[in-house]
Chain A
């Protein structure tokens, strides 16, 4: 008999067959965070005026992991976006390009490029998650 480890949500039955009813269920693998910003505090990247900066995060996992990235494209705006795009949102100063030559993950690094479409330097906050689960 297979041993199953389950943690059901409050008010849900441990005998439920609905995966959404569980905080953890050993039959369903969970997405594990193996790396995020140090001390769980966002980092910053300085983007020169009308230019870009490349950010490189080394993970050394030896496989291509799933990743998530959040940025505050306009410094001190309080608006945080997930992911990357091919365009600058109309109200924002910078954006993370979706161009796969510059924003990608491989078995060693997570890299992304931030473009600055303004004529002044911007210090962009970012927060990332690298998961211990393969994206391949």
Chain B
């Protein structure tokens, strides 16, 4: 006859067949605590995914329970939480192997095809314009027998007046190029207005920022993307007295001496403004590891 050890809850029978009635019952093993570990990751602007690990030194895959720790209220929550982990915009994962417990956080970048990382916003263009034929159905820059340029407009820019930014650039989706050789030479300005209007009226004559960025770009075979820096132009626009968050901003590109038939066009493509702001995000983890082997 097997010897058993039982400690029954107050008011319950020592002969009960309900495991809930026992504080301890030698027929029912318990998870055996091994250790508790903590770890953290820090997201810098633009980071999307961060992974870290802690060593449990057991030599096999143990049972474990991982937690993320919210930065706003210090609450611990089990990973994976449903549907996402660290906040409403991201998710966390945790897994074990025979040496480590791993944590990974991936920021939820939205359903856009072009993800943005921590403290980084990506805006799809709302308007574009080409001075080649004065039409608002594409963007262009370069020269055929004459130089021409283009403009982009982005709406709903979530920057307050004089807000600090660490980077800003525009990514252009090139869909065609000229047959000439050499670089497309460009001057990129901001439109020096508080809330620049749409491009149903041509934007090329609008006031330009004093901030300007010069770029020589060697065209590749379309389709491809290239980008240009607009940080100083954005800073000048959001420093305007009448700027407020949610306004629209625009950018004008002019030819700066491209060779004949060296040009690029963006039509029916993704064109975006990416703004990166300073500041980091630290995500903390905790894991309780048991000595119980699962694999």
Contact = CB atoms under 8 A, between A and B. Distances in A.
B19 interface: yes
Contact of A72 (B19, B29, B295): B295
A90 B106 contact: yes
B294 A5 contact: no
B29 A78 contact: no
A59 B83 CA distance: 27
Contact of A29 (B23, B83, B93, B95): B23
Interface residues of A, number: 37
Nearest to A90: B106
Interface stretch (A10-18, A32-40, A48-56, A111-119): A32-40
Contacts of A29: 9, 23
Interface residues of B, number: 36
Contacts, number: 99
A78 B98 CA distance: 7
A79 B7 CA distance: 37
Interface in B34-80: 61, 63-66, 78-80
Contact of B63 (A70, A86, A90): A70
A47 interface: no
B20 interface: yes
A80 B97 contact: yes
Interface of B: 7, 9, 18-20, 22-25, 28-31, 61, 63-66, 78-80, 82-83, 91, 93-98, 102, 104, 106, 293-295
20 contacts: A5-B7, A5-B24, A30-B23, A30-B24, A33-B28, A40-B293, A42-B295, A70-B61, A70-B96, A70-B295, A78-B98, A80-B97, A80-B294, A82-B80, A84-B82, A85-B93, A89-B104, A98-B83, A125-B295, A134-B20
Interface of A: 5, 24, 26, 28-34, 40, 42, 61-63, 68, 70, 72, 78-87, 89-90, 98, 125, 127, 129, 132-134
Given A29-B9, A80-B96, A127-B63, 6 more contacts: A79-B97, A80-B97, A80-B295, A98-B83, A129-B31, A134-B20
